[in-house]
């Protein structure tokens, strides 16, 4: 397959290249795409150098599949143009996710709904992906009524700017020798030695866009508008991945042992317990892995038919690049 990666110089785009190579995706020709600023730069893929081109040039090169991770503005402008040229687009931005007629896909959950006529396919928000992978089979068995989720999200979710801000602040705070590359900030407040209970912009209802993404995308992916979702999303000074405290209430009663068994059987899920490498999942250990790690599973003592659990995954991998490549694999 001739494949374009739009945003190939960014954090997620770089991960996409890594994941394509690792999973032996049959790439016959790679077209790395970025803004005018980066045209002519080289990126490395499977030990070979490729020249970065602009989106317009990429369309002329006629890719069959394009993985987009260059922001919602770029997706808004360019995804329809790629699709019109006969190229299937997997879009990691928020632009097309809630658009009617566009599928929002997590392969383990609703990959079977993809059809030949889908030209633009949306990749969900990173926090939503790991949550629905963990909850999918539990929903099938016990029917979700309500989810209350609080997130602890890595700075890698803000691209290179997020990492740079944390690195710069840490260097300044500890007077270390290493300094980040730029001084431009990703967040309105210091993130090192802090946390920020705001991800993306505030909406009129008092929630942030990130929180409402978790609410709306969960219903769309699971194909069930009746699932109630309440989210609080928080940025923390962590690099490895996103963590989530998930409280899930089900309509049907359950035995905890059945919840554990189903989680163990769930595709893409690793259940952490006393016998695992670590007794519960942590972002440092999830980094560069594709699985969704689940631990601290316990009955909610305050609510009938509800559980609490802790869900961790590398937001750049399963939360973005790996999920996008898995969608592209469905085209094969």
Q: How far is the CB of 320 from ligand A2P (least distance, A)?
A: 10
DSSP line for 200-214: SPBPTTS-BHHHHHH
Nearer to ligand A2P (CB atom), residue 13 or residue 295: 13
Q: How far is the CB of 181 from ligand A2P (least distance, A)?
A: 12
| 126 assigned to active site | yes
Single out the catalytic residue among 87, 126, 139, 303. Answer: 126
Nearer to ligand A2P (CB atom), residue 83 or residue 228: 83
* Residue of closest CB approach to ligand A2P: 10
Interface contacts to ligand A2P, rule CB under 6 A: 6-11, 13, 33-35, 37-38, 55, 70-71, 74, 159-160
Nearer to ligand A2P (CB atom), residue 10 or residue 107: 10
What's the CA gap between 268 and 257, in Å, rounded?
A: 19
Q: How far is the CB of 267 from ligand A2P (least distance, A)?
A: 28
Q: What six digits make up the tokens of 223? A: 């194909």
Cα four-point dihedral sign 137, 141, 143, 149: negative
Q: What six digits make up the tokens of 150? A: 């609080």
The contacts of residue 75 (CB under 8 Å, 6+ apart) are 68, 91, 93, 95, 96
The contacts of residue 112 (CB under 8 Å, 6+ apart) are none
Q: How far is the CB of 64 from ligand A2P (least distance, A)?
A: 19
Q: How far is the CB of 100 from ligand A2P (least distance, A)?
A: 26
Q: How far is the CB of 4 from ligand A2P (least distance, A)?
A: 11
Q: What six digits make up the tokens of 261? A: 């068994």
What's the CA gap between 192 and 1, in Å, rounded?
A: 42
Nearer to ligand A2P (CB atom), residue 7 or residue 180: 7
Q: What six digits make up the tokens of 175? A: 């007077």
Nearer to ligand A2P (CB atom), residue 93 or residue 218: 93
Nearer to ligand A2P (CB atom), residue 49 or residue 224: 49
190, 194, 198, 201 alpha-carbon torsion, rounded to 10°: 10
What's the CA gap between 257 and 25, in Å, rounded?
A: 38
DSSP line for 142-194: H-EEEEEEEEEB-GGGGHHHHHHHHHHHHHHHHT-S---S----SSSS--TT-
Residue matched to tokens 């790629």:
82
**Which positions are annotated as active-site residues?**
126, 242
């Amino acid at each position: 397959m001739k494949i374009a990666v739009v945003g190939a110089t960014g954090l997620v785009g770089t991960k996409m290249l890594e994941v394509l190579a690792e999973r032996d995706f049959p790439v016959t020709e790679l077209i790395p795409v970025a803004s005018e600023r980066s045209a002519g730069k080289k990126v490395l893929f499977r030990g070979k150098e490729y020249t970065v081109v602009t989106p317009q040039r990429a369309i002329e090169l006629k890719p069959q599949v394009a993985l987009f991770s260059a922001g919602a503005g770029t997706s808004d402008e360019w995804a329809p143009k790629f699709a019109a040229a006969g190229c299937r687009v997997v879009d990691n931005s928020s632009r097309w996710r809630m658009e009617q007629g566009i599928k929002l896909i997590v392969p383990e959950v609703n990959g079977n709904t993809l059809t030949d006529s889908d030209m633009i396919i949306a990749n969900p928000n990173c926090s939503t992906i790991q949550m629905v992978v963990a909850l999918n089979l539990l929903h099938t068995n016990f029917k979700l009524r309500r989810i209350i989720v609080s997130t602890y999200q890595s700075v890698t979710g803000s691209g290179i700017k997020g990492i740079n801000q944390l690195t710069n602040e840490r260097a300044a705070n500890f007077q270390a020798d290493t300094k980040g590359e730029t001084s431009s900030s990703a967040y309105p407040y210091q993130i090192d030695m802090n946390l920020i209970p705001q991800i993306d912009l505030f909406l009129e209802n008092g929630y942030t866009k990130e929180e409402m993404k978790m609410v709306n995308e969960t219903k769309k992916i699971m194909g069930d508008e009746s699932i109630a979702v309440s989210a609080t999303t928080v940025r923390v000074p962590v690099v490895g991945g996103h963590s989530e405290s998930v409280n899930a209430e089900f309509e049907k009663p359950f035995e905890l042992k059945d919840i554990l068994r189903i989680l163990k059987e769930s595709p893409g899920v690793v259940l952490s317990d006393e016998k695992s490498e670590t007794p519960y999942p942590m972002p440092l250990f999830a980094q560069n892995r594709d699985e969704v790690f689940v631990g601290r599973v316990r009955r909610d003592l305050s609510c009938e038919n509800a559980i609490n659990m802790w869900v961790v995954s590398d937001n750049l991998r399963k939360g973005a690049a790996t999920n996008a490549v898995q969608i592209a694999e469905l085209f094969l």
